[in-house]
Structure 1
């Protein structure tokens, strides 16, 4: 029976590339996104692999647990989870010099808390089996000071350290946790499209999502490093 990867926060950029890369290795892929508007296109793009699509807001704990249960019932136990939700419609960035507690709370609720809930939902089963992997995409502002990302940076840093610490805590269990730390616009992704549709006065570097997906596969197979960094930001 094929191993199963659940791609949470699936989009046309990195999420689809992750699904394609693991699908090439024989994984059954389950893609989860907030709406089903592009699901038919995703399935067509992954022709030749075993793929299913699901609708859920993974920042909502009840929906998260329900969709994970549905994937398990339909495809089997989930071996690997990729967590990479992003909302291109709401940048939500406030300069840190102007940010209050409420401004910092929103990114935590959108990024960090859903990641923790996801771990709570899938890790017990992985530990019981002695196998599995948890992969998380995060921003470079969680590793290097990037003032232009303001109120988003503390949540990025918290997510990154959570994953790195989880990696250390899971040693010798057979379960792996790894961080994909991304600095730059991911080609074909929603944020790339939204950013390039306007003139911001500068153009950050771009990254090929297929290269990042290759890095995710290397983390999964090698399990020697807790993090892979992809940096197209010339100033960092």
Structure 2
């Protein structure tokens, strides 16, 4: 009998977030979805349950670091042993740097960089105790090719990319696969950028052998 494990997906919508929940929930057996709005979670949970996946929903704002950490603890205590945490949230607000309010910029960086760190720190001891697992982040092409109209997001994705590289040095020796998926393109209904196809790439990272591991997958 296959042992049941679980995954936590932070920042779940009907696109990539749902595809990640479907993939990891199917492969591991159980999944927790974390999003700001309980109303947005309800239809996604219903879809997963129809697919035979045990799914739980938790409402939390990534900008509330204490609330996010508490929600991760709540999710891990309610599920089978945790094997993967995926941070898929981002603050997406078009603005050029010359017009970017510094206080607003700081708030966006909390969601784009600080919260992923807080989530990883909360999950890492649990993953290590469970014999290892993965911490995966959703990055973006703006980290490599900054876009002036999305100044804050470009900076945030670049910071997340570098944070992942340093975090991996601490977590990989503990058996925790640590990587950012730098998606250089826009999600589409079909083809390479279909959410289900992208989600497969995350799963392949999760199960990748130690000798092949790098802290970034450039998905283009």
Q: Common fold, TM-score beyond 0.5?
A: yes
Residue aligned with 1:177, SS: strand
Which of the numbers 207, 218, 228 marks the counterpart of 2:193?
A: 207
CA separation of 1:18 and 1:101: change in aligned 2, threshold 3 A? same
CA separation of 1:78 and 1:141: change in aligned 2, threshold 3 A? same
RMSD: 2.3
Post-superposition offset of 1:168: 2.9
How is 1:171-182 mapped onto 2 (pairs within 5 angstroms)? 171-182=172-183
What is aligned with 1:113?
Answer: 114
Q: Is residue 2:217 matched to residue 1:228?
A: yes
What is aligned with 2:140?
Answer: 139
Number of equivalences: 212
What is aligned with 2:65?
Answer: 61
Separation of aligned partners in 1, 2:76 and 2:104:
36
The one-character-per-residue Cα deviations of 1:128-181 (angstroms, maximum 9, x if unpaired) are 444121010022111223333223211110111111222233333211111111
**Residues 73, 122 of structure 2: 8 Å contact kept:** no
Post-superposition offset of 1:43: 2.2
114-123 or 69-78: which moved more? Answer: 69-78
Separation of aligned partners in 2, 1:187 and 1:100:
32
1-10 or 125-134: which moved more? Answer: 125-134
Residue aligned with 2:150, SS: helix
What is aligned with 1:199?
Answer: none
How is 1:55-204 mapped onto 2 (pairs within 5 angstroms)? 55-86=59-90, 91-99=92-100, 101-187=102-188
Separation of aligned partners in 2, 1:12 and 1:104:
26
Query: Please, what TM-score do these two structures have when normalized by structure 1?
Result: 0.80
Post-superposition offset of 1:100: 5.7
Structure 1: gaps spanning 5 or more residues: 189-205, 232-236
CA separation of 1:39 and 1:103: change in aligned 2, threshold 3 A? closer
The one-character-per-residue Cα deviations of 1:87-140 (angstroms, maximum 9, x if unpaired) are 5xxx43321344464353232122111111112211123334441210100221
Post-superposition offset of 1:7: 0.7
What is aligned with 1:26?
Answer: 28
What is aligned with 1:191?
Answer: none
Separation of aligned partners in 2, 1:207 and 1:67:
30
What is aligned with 1:38?
Answer: 40
Structure 2: gaps spanning 5 or more residues: none
